[in-house]
Every structure is written in C-alpha cells, then in structure tokens.
Amino acid sequence: MPDLLTLESVCAGYGDAIVLEDISFSLVEGGSLALLGRNGMGKTTLLSTLMGVTRFKSGQIRYRGQDLAIAPAHQRARLGFGWVPQERDIFPSLTVEENLTVVARPGAWNLKRIYQLFPRLEERRANMGNQLSGGEQQMLAMARALMLNPQALLLDEPLEGLAPLIVQELLRIIGQMTASGDMAVILVEQHARQILPLTRQALVLERGRVVFSGDSEVLRNNPAQLEKWLGVGAH
C-alpha cells in the first residue's frame, strides 16, 4: 500500500528547545502505529508536531506526497488528521449528540455508525458533556474525532486514568478501528503490552530520538527490550 505519512529527519520542539531530533518513519494508508516511550520522551510532542502546533526546526513531513512542514493546524485537519488529545477537549455545555454533529464532515462515519461502535454514547446522547464519566468523555472525544472522517487518527493516551472495565471496552473499540484499515491510527500509550497486539508497527522514543522502529510483533516478543525502554509501562 502507498505511504500516507512520511517523516524524514524531523527536529521540532517549543521555543528554542528542541524536543524531537532526527525522527524518521512512514505509515501506509490504513496502517497502525504504537508510539511508545517513558514519560517525557517526546511522544505527545510528536503528535503535536504532526498537527502543526510545535515549532518545526528541520526535516520533512509529507502527507500523501504533500509537504506539511509549515502547514497550519487547520489545514492539516482539513486534509484528514483527527486528533484526540489527553485533555479530551469536549464541549461541556453541549449534549453528546451536539458534540458529535457540530464537527461532522461528510463520509462513512455518521451518527448511526458512531452509535454502533459506541452504544454507551447513544444511551447518553441527550446528556451534556459535563454530565459524563471520564470514560464516557474519552469515548466522546474519540467519536467526535471520527465524525471528522479522518484519514489519520492520532490518539494520545486514551486509556489514561480509566477504570479497568472502560479500558477493556476502549481496547476493543481501538482494535476494531485498527483492524478495519479504514484509516491510519497512531496510538500513544504507556502500557505497551495492551496496544502492541492492536497495531502493525511500533515506534519507541527515548530522549526525543527513535530507538526502535519496526513490527509491533517483533517488539512484543522481546521482553528484554521492552523492559529496557519502557520499564513498568511495558507490563
């Protein structure tokens, strides 16, 4: 399959500080990537760089062959990037259904399909965003990003701080999304062993540099390297 996204020797950060150095990888159409590393190693900064909200220093970012290095965030969203940040950023004073429809763009993802994937949201469709539990808010943030009908979905630690039952439900949903191949998924998560079975590729960052890039299965079957790079987050 052709590459959807390609990074070559990307350096980026905030202000004068460089956080990411010499980042290179590619992701095919409909591919899936586990973005791993200990806290503070640059994972969120990489997603932010893909969305155009960091200071780009050097290198190349190409999306379907188009140079995105200096493209603004709103242009990237229009081109097909969907982003679910750690903060979720749902609209608290809108209902669940209003949160979904206010950002909707034409495509395969519509309310019917969203409610099939997230039946809990259909049950809560008339509730305000601030009336939802943390897990339901996370589902809503993911569902809202899907309503943009993205070609690349970026998920920043979607399982963080959630109850085990909700984690299992979200893992099932993420697994369906990555298996379908309808869109590319980049997934940041601390718990490597939970997400490596759901993705085809893995990228490990250490101090803003790539220390592993390859098949998720290869990394999953290498406990020594998982422990070295990720520590307790690998379990």
**Residues 176-205: tens digit of each pLDDT:** 999 988 899 999 988 899 999 999 999 999
Amino acid type, 203: L
Structure-token pair, residue 147: 């309503």
Per-residue pLDDT averaged across 12-26, rounded?
96
Q: Are 186 and 155 in contact (CB under 8 A)?
A: yes
Asked if pLDDT for residue 144 goes beyond 70, the answer is yes
Displacement of CA 120 from its chain's centroid (Å): 21
* ∠ CA 73-202-171, rounded to 5°: 80
Asked if pLDDT for residue 233 goes beyond 50, the answer is no
Per-residue pLDDT averaged across 144-172, rounded?
94
Q: Are 68 and 76 in contact (CB under 8 A)?
A: yes
Asked if pLDDT for residue 232 goes beyond 90, the answer is no
pLDDT band of residue 120 (cuts 50, 70, 90) is very high
Taking only the tens place, the pLDDT of each residue in 58-109 is 999 999 999 998 889 889 988 999 999 988 889 999 999 999 999 999 999 9
Asked if pLDDT for residue 235 goes beyond 60, the answer is no
pLDDT band of residue 143 (cuts 50, 70, 90) is very high
Q: In this structure, what are the phi and psi dihedrals at residue 222, rounded to the nearest 5 degrees?
A: -125, 75
Q: Residue 190: what pLDDT?
A: 83
Tell the CATH topology of 3-80+151-234. Answer: Rossmann fold (3.40.50)
Asked if pLDDT for residue 118 goes beyond 70, the answer is yes
Burial of 73 (0-12, 13-18, 19+ CB in 10 A): middle
Average pLDDT of every residue of the chain:
93
**3-class state of residue 51 by DSSP:** coil
Asked if pLDDT for residue 119 goes beyond 80, the answer is yes
- Helix H or strand E segment including 188: strand 184-188
Per-residue pLDDT averaged across 22-40, rounded?
96
